[in-house]
């Protein structure tokens, strides 16, 4: 493992969970944009690989939700992640980028919300 990979792994393992969530959402936004570009250029096999990665991310995020921490937040994020997974499934079947911008928009709203919560917590 290269030094920068060890650094990033250590940073993630020791950082704030809100910061980790923001990083995951930001990476997901970049990957959604990548999927759109790949599909628009008819690079379906590569798009499928990125879609699979995104599916794994949102399945893992769903598994990490804790209903005991905040039941309403748990329900809302579960529904959101299910919506994203359904959208990814549709994208994979139709081979079109339809719906990607909506998912990016929602993730960007979540990023802003988490950044606000993080900023508020640090004060």
Long-range contact list for 73-80, CB < 8 A, 24+ apart?
80/106, 80/110
Model-wide pTM > 0.75:
yes
Give the pair of three-digit tokens for residue 49.
Answer: 């690989």
- Tens of pLDDT, residue by residue over 73-119, are 999 999 999 999 999 999 999 999 999 999 999 999 999 999 998 88
Q: How confident is the model at residue 14 (pLDDT cuts 50, 70, 90)?
A: low
* CA–CA separation, 62 and 1 (whole Å): 29
Supply the pLDDT for residue 118. 87
Closest CA relative to residue 96, chosen from 37, 29, 10, 14: 37
Alpha carbon 38 to chain centroid, angstroms: 18
């Amino acid at each position: 493992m290269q030094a920068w990979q060890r650094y990033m792994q250590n940073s993630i393992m020791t950082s704030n969970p809100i910061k980790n969530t923001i990083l995951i959402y930001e990476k997901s936004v970049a990957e959604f944009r990548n999927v759109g570009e790949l599909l628009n250029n008819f690079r379906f096999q590569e798009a499928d690989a990125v879609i699979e990665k995104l599916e794994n991310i949102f399945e893992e995020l769903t598994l990490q939700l804790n209903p005991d921490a905040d039941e309403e937040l748990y329900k809302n994020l579960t529904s959101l992640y299910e919506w994203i997974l359904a959208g990814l499934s549709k994208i994979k079947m139709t081979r079109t980028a339809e719906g990607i911008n909506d998912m990016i928009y929602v993730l960007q709203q979540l990023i802003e919300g988490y950044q606000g919560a993080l900023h508020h917590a640090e004060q």
